[in-house]
Amino acid sequence: AIPLVMSRSTSIAATNGLIIRDNQAMENSRKIDYIAMDKTGTLTEGKFTVNGLKSIDSTINDNKLLSVIAGIESGSSHPIANSIVQYAKDKKIEIANFDDVQAIKGYGMSGKLEGHEYYLVNMKYLKNENIPIDSKLVQTYLDKGNTISYLVADKKVLGFVALGDRIKKNTIEFIKELKARNITTIMLTGDNKDAAATMAKQMGIDEFRAELLPEDKNKVIKQLELSGHHVMMVGDGINDAPSLAAATIGVAIGAGTDVAIDSADVILYNSDPFDIIKFLKLSHHTYQKTV
Ligand code: ADP
Ligand code: MG
């Protein structure tokens, strides 16, 4: 049977935006000295604004560029994709009808249109494939923390789109509260280093690792745990499920995906990272009463 204080805690949890799937998590919370967090959708809203869109090739103008980019993104449910498709609709741009699109995990998308193969990918992909790009063209966007996707065909960059995301309203306060508890904060992201550095600084986060593939996030968690730390991992997407499972406590943000929820010990159903502070307080009170 569940001890009385515990079942009371569970209903208090529900009024604080928490679903505690594993009561062991409350007991383990005392050990946590590291909190690893996904960036997009966890610390930020995950709703991107298009801040720049530019053709850098004479064969394509800005409207056609947007048409193609939105077409390739129609096959994705990534927050970046949703924002770009909505932007094209708002601008009343006809969205190109791709035959076939595919996700390239951690890099972007590819697809076929009128016999041509297009890629909408990040800088990491360009580096891997030795596709040249003059970084001066995008530096001002990078300095402001933008995420940049490049449209590529025949190993040539045709243009780019720069997107900005907003920090959630409670993120900075949340990080401050963790600091006050001597918990080290680390942000894990698939995004580029410049965007990650800018965002981490604005949020007051101690450490960050950028350009990570989902399996890399998992490795970071495992390494921290192996070196004696007790890690709480907070994330959302399907990609984060292995890292949630590897951490001492896995916290899923929002309704999330079924896979992420299955791997999580705690769910924050209001998608508010500050509810983690409520979880820590609640756990503390519960175990003061039971021990
Ligand atoms: P994170 O959740 O840490 O941002 P993801 O694995 O979801 O990581 O994405 C990593 C990077 O891959 C993004 O920053 C972006 O550059 C690229 N990417 C992923 N999906 C898309 C997409 N649909 N359109 C454009 N870029 C994408
Ligand atoms: Mg994510």
pLDDT tens readout for residues 166-204: 999 999 999 999 999 999 999 999 999 999 999 999 999
Please report the ipTM that was assigned to this predicted complex: 0.97
* Centre of ligand 2 from the C-alpha of residue 72, in Å: 19
Residue to probe by mutation, ligand 1, list 149, 193, 244, most atoms within 8 Å of CB: 149
Q: What confidence score (pLDDT) does residue 10 get? A: 67
Instruction: Report pLDDT for 236.
Output: 82
> Hey, how many other C-beta atoms are within 10 angstroms of the C-beta on 49?
13
Ligand 1 neighbour 266 (Cβ under 6 A): no
Query: Per-residue b/e over 62-78, b at no fewer than 16 CB within 10 Å?
Result: eebbbbbbbbbbbbbeb
Whole-number Å distance between alpha carbons of 258 and 261: 5
Comparing C-alpha atoms, which of 33, 74, 42 is closest to residue 191? 42
Is the distance from the beta carbon of residue 265 to the nearest atom of ligand 1 less than 6 Å?
A: no
Dihedral sign computed on CA atoms, order 191, 87, 43, 256 = negative
CATH 3.50.50.60 assigned to domain 49-164? The reply is no
User: For residues 173, 174, 180 and 181, what is the CA-based torsion angle, rounded to 10 degrees?
Assistant: 170
- CA distance linking residue 247 with residue 234, whole number of Å: 9
Structure tokens at 4: 């009385």
Distance 70 CA to ligand 2 centre (A): 20
Q: Nearest CA to 121 among 139, 138, 106, 108?
A: 108
The tokens of 126 are what? Answer: 């360009």
Segments of 41-191 assigned E as strands: 49-55, 100-104, 108-113, 116-121, 147-153, 156-164, 184-188
pLDDT at 74 over 60: yes
Q: Considering the candidates 38, 194, 265, 272, report the single residue annotated as catalytic.
A: 38
Q: Whose C-alpha lies nearest to ligand 1, atom 25?
A: 108
The SS3 of residue 154 is coil
- Judge whether residue 22 has pLDDT over 90: no
Q: Write the DSSP string, 167-231.
A: BPTTHHHHHHHHHHTT-EEEEE-SS-HHHHHHHHHHHT-SEEE-S--HHHHHHHHHHHHHTT--E
- Chain segment 199-251, per-residue pLDDT in tens: 999 999 999 999 998 899 999 999 999 999 999 999 986 778 899 999 999 99
Determine the distance separating the centroid of ligand 2 and the alpha carbon of 238, expressed in angstroms.
8
Active site residue 38: yes
What is the chain's Cα-based Rg?
A: 21
pLDDT tens readout for residues 41-50: 999 998 999 9
Alpha carbon distance 53, 257 (integer Å)? 30
Q: What is the pTM of this model?
A: 0.89
Taking all residues of the chain, what is their mean pLDDT, rounded to a whole number?
92
Which pLDDT band, with edges at 50, 70 and 90, does 262 fall under?
confident
Query: Which CATH number is 4-45+167-290 given?
Result: 3.40.50.1000
Residue 80's pLDDT band (cuts 50, 70, 90): very high
Give mean pLDDT, residues 269-284.
94
Q: Is the pLDDT of residue 286 over 60?
A: yes
Domain boundaries defined on the chain = 4-45+167-290, 49-164
- pLDDT digits over 95-119, tens only? 999 999 999 988 999 999 999 999 9
Distance CA 34, CA 5 (A): 27
User: Nearest to residue 44, comparing CAs of 219, 163, 194, 153?
Assistant: 163
pLDDT over threshold 70, residue 6: no
pLDDT, mean of residues 5-24? 77
